[in-house]
């Protein structure tokens, strides 16, 4: 896969027709992706690819995401179409990792194509019907998740007896946190960014466990 710096240069070529006769700068790419210049500069420095913004950019311009990420032409993918699997992706649903999350009731899912090798990390084809993808916002789960990551939930996995990372719904927030069950039945809600976020404790009736996080682009620790 291309680096983010390489992808930026491709986008510059794409949007150059929008501003003919003028040089395209990083700030123009940031604007095209809907990212602030400060966040864009940080992503480029860290080579952090903003998948959600790239998907939206490609959708608006009818560009194949595989071409942008891998230099694969749409024609080259025709025979391999059946080798890809579709996951329900709720683009407007954000699980908070420190920055405030929400779930839009009635939000319709898009189809997000994933490759067979990645499906295997999510539990295989038999689990596909249980998999949904949402976004992460905030920094409380760094370095496991970064702001803007796309994460994959298995909605059938809600048993927290062995711990793990889960998406949970509280009274007014959708969160992604590491959960541990206490002997007294209460639940520790843990942020991986322990330098800035303290653990919280909740009783089982205070949270609704939506599913275990089983993957993201790059894997889950």
Give 144 or 73, the one with higher predicted confidence. 144
Cα–Cα distance measured from residue 148 to residue 16, given in angstroms and rounded to the nearest whole number = 26
- CATH label, 1-79, candidates 1.10.260, 1.20.120, 3.30.2020, 1.10.3470: 1.10.260
Short-list 157, 154, 153, 137, CA closest to 145: 137
Residue 211, classed as helix, strand or coil, is: strand
The number of angstroms, rounded, from the C-alpha of 220 to the middle of its chain's C-alpha atoms is: 12
Cα–Cα distance measured from residue 121 to residue 144, given in angstroms and rounded to the nearest whole number = 16
The answer, yes or no, to whether residue 120 has pLDDT greater than 70, is: yes
Averaged over 144-165, what is the pLDDT? 91
Domain boundaries, the chain: 1-79, 84-221
Give 185 or 116, the one with higher predicted confidence. 185
Q: Which two tokens stand for residue 84?
A: 């890809």
- What pLDDT does residue 72 have? 64
Residues 128-137: tens digit of each pLDDT = 899 999 988 8
Provide the pLDDT confidence category of residue 154 given band limits of 50, 70 and 90.
very high
- What pLDDT does residue 103 have? 44
> Hey, which of 90-104, 149-163, 206-220 has the most confident mean pLDDT?
149-163
Q: What angle do CA 205, 149, 108 make, to 5 degrees?
A: 70
The answer, yes or no, to whether residue 216 has pLDDT greater than 70, is: yes
Q: What angle do CA 187, 192, 193 make, to 5 degrees?
A: 125
- What pLDDT does residue 82 have? 52
Q: What is the number of other CB atoms lying within 10 angstroms of the CB of residue 53?
A: 18
Residue 49, classed as helix, strand or coil, is: coil
Over the chain, what is the mean pLDDT? 84
- CATH label, 84-221, candidates 3.90.120.10, 1.10.10.10, 2.10.109.10, 1.10.580.10: 2.10.109.10
The answer, yes or no, to whether residue 96 has pLDDT greater than 80, is: no
The answer, yes or no, to whether residue 218 has pLDDT greater than 70, is: no
170: CB partners within 8 A, 6+ apart: 202, 206, 207, 208
Q: Which two tokens stand for residue 122?
A: 């999510």
Q: What is the largest CA-CA distance in the chain?
A: 68
Residues 9-32: tens digit of each pLDDT = 999 988 988 877 788 999 999 999
Q: What is the number of other CB atoms lying within 10 angstroms of the CB of residue 181?
A: 15
**Cβ contact 209:215 at 8 Å:** no
């Amino acid at each position: 896969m291309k680096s983010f710096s390489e992808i930026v240069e491709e986008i510059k070529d794409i949007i150059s027709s929008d501003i003919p006769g003028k040089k395209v700068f990083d700030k123009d790419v940031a604007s095209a992706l809907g990212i602030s210049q400060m966040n864009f500069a940080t992503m480029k420095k860290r080579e952090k690819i903003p998948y959600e913004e790239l998907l939206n950019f490609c959708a608006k311009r009818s560009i194949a995401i595989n071409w942008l990420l891998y230099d694969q032409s749409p024609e080259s993918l025709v025979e391999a179409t059946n080798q890809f699997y579709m996951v329900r992706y709720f683009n407007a649903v954000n699980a908070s990792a420190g920055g405030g999350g929400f779930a839009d009731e009635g939000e319709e899912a898009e189809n997000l194509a994933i490759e067979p090798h990645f499906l295997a990390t999510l539990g295989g084809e038999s689990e596909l019907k249980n998999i949904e993808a949402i976004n992460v916002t905030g920094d409380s789960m760094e370095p496991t998740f970064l702001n803007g990551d796309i994460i994959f939930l298995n909605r059938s996995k809600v048993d927290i007896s062995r711990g793990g990372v889960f998406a949970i719904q509280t009274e007014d927030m959708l969160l992604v946190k590491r959960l541990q069950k206490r002997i007294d039945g209460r639940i520790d809600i843990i942020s991986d960014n322990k330098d800035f976020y303290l653990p919280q404790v909740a009783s089982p009736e205070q949270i609704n466990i939506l599913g275990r996080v089983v993957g993201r682009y790059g894997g889950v620790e």
